[in-house]
Amino acid sequence: MDKQKIYPRSQDRETVYLKNVITDPGIIVGDYTMYNDFVNNPVDFQKNNVLYHYSINHDRLIIGKFCSIACGARFLFNSANHSMTSLATYPFPIFFEEWGLDVSHITEAWDNKGDIVIGNDVWIGYEAVIFAGVTIGDGAIIGARAVVAKDVPPYSIVGGVPAKPIRKRFSDETISALLTARWWDWPEEKIADHLAAIRSGRVEQFK
């Protein structure tokens, strides 16, 4: 397996290994995480899909290994927010020249809710939107066009606007075993040796 390549499939230019097309130091992506885009060039993910992400905030998008991100999924960062503590929703600090404000206070125009953190082996569906400050646990599934404003537990399925829990993917015992095994951190050879067990859904075969 060549995790350094951009296109994991020789005849497919709509799917990329995301880590290998990212240049923004505020976006951290794990090995083998893939993004598919049949509308825009998937290489432009950080421009088209990571929105309102400005270095002045020092916020980060952190995505784990082996995630699957569908076309049009978007990550909406803190500068998209307007301050809720101000008496006005208008972002006066952005227009500091107009209003004689100090440029150093520009981040007061919005509420900073922190990083977006996506676990490992997460599937994010078509045109889903993930808000700043959200953490999505390992193995979770985000439904198509879901709007995710709250944390998602590991191995949960959520969907809707706003996104709400639908069900757990597995029993609590299986989820615990998967979170303990952390197969995504195994050496490639071990993952390859256990693909049958992973694909069968039988965690007991890991042992």
Catalytic residues: 82
The CA angle 142-168-206, to the nearest 5 degrees, is 100
Give the separation between CA 147 and CA 160, rounded to whole angstroms: 7
Give the separation between CA 178 and CA 66, rounded to whole angstroms: 14
- Amino acid identity, residue 70? A
How distant is the alpha carbon of residue 157 from its chain centre? 15
Nearest to 157 by CA among 177, 194, 114, 128: 128
Give the separation between CA 135 and CA 150, rounded to whole angstroms: 8
CB 19 within 8 A of CB 27: no
CB neighbours of 145 closer than 8 A, spacing ≥ 6?
125, 126, 127, 128, 129, 161
- Beta bridge partners, 129, equal 74, 147
Nearest to 30 by CA among 121, 159, 135: 121
